Amino acid sequence: MSAAKQVTEDQIYGALKKCMDPEIPVNVVDLGLIYGVNIADGKNVDIKMTMTTRGCPLHDTLVSDVKRYVGKVPGIGSINVEIVWDPPWSLDKMNPQVREQLGFGKPKLRFQIDYEKARPLKAGRYAKQEDGSMILANDKDQGFMVNEAIIEFWNTCDGTKTINQLTDQFSAKLGMPRQQVEQEVVQLVQQLLEAELLKA
């Protein structure tokens, strides 16, 4: 009797590539959600994977999809899927080509800003309404509803700090990973430039 065919990692990854994330139309391997595949006794598989967000309501669907596709590999034994949160998932973990296709990567800017050189300078003025709401108005007197975090950021843009420095500052202040903060900062700079509340 010939020995049972051993299941290989390639086969497992091949099966996982058929499994799409429900929120982003990319398979879980290219998304970088698979942190490890371990095969015991040539057939029993342990898969370590993460999710793009902690509160993802689709965990169970994704786990059952993974089990379903991996279960089709010939000779497979038991399949154990462990969800891990460390290290946290980030865009860095995606396949770079896929990331580019999706338009992720460095946040796309309609304004080409040099993160190293541009030193955004606040423009316009801050006003508090009678109802307590906060507004930033540009020189054309167009008002934009804002919150304290935006005001604080706007005030920090005093023309002395580059976008990289602003990111570092907020990353330290919020105790958040720099990468998450960078996207927020860049989007905010983008919005404030469009609203003519910053000069780059």
17 and 91, same domain (yes or no): yes
84 and 125, same domain (yes or no): no
Which residues make Cβ contacts (< 8 Å) with residue 120, sequence separation at least 6? 157, 159, 161, 163, 166, 189, 192, 193, 198, 199, 200
Range of the domain at 186: 121-199
Predicted local distance difference test score (pLDDT) of residue 2: 45
Cα(198)–Cα(12) distance, integer angstroms: 50
Residue appearing with tokens 């499994």:
19
143 and 191, same domain (yes or no): yes
Mean pLDDT of all residues in 159-170 = 91
150 and 195, same domain (yes or no): yes
89 and 139, same domain (yes or no): no
Whether 91 maps to a domain, the answer reads yes
pLDDT in tens, 81-134: 999 988 888 888 888 887 777 766 554 445 567 778 889 999 999 988 788 888
Q: Are 71 and 107 in contact (CB under 8 A)?
A: no
CATH code at position 87:
3.30.300.130
Predicted local distance difference test score (pLDDT) of residue 181: 82
CATH code at position 164:
1.10.10.1150
Burial call 42-78: b when 16+ CB within 10 Å, e when fewer: ebebebebbbbeeebeeeeebbebbbebbeebeebee
Burial, 95: exposed, middle or buried (Cβ in 10 Å; 0-12, 13-18, 19+)?
Answer: middle
Query: Per mean pLDDT, which range of 1-5, 10-14, 145-149 is the poorest?
Result: 1-5
Domain count, the chain: 2
25 and 96, same domain (yes or no): yes
73 and 134, same domain (yes or no): no
Q: Are 144 and 180 in contact (CB under 8 A)?
A: no
Whether 81 maps to a domain, the answer reads yes
pLDDT in tens, 29-52: 999 999 999 999 999 999 999 988
96 and 155, same domain (yes or no): no
Looking at 101, 135, 163, the residue that finishes a domain is 101
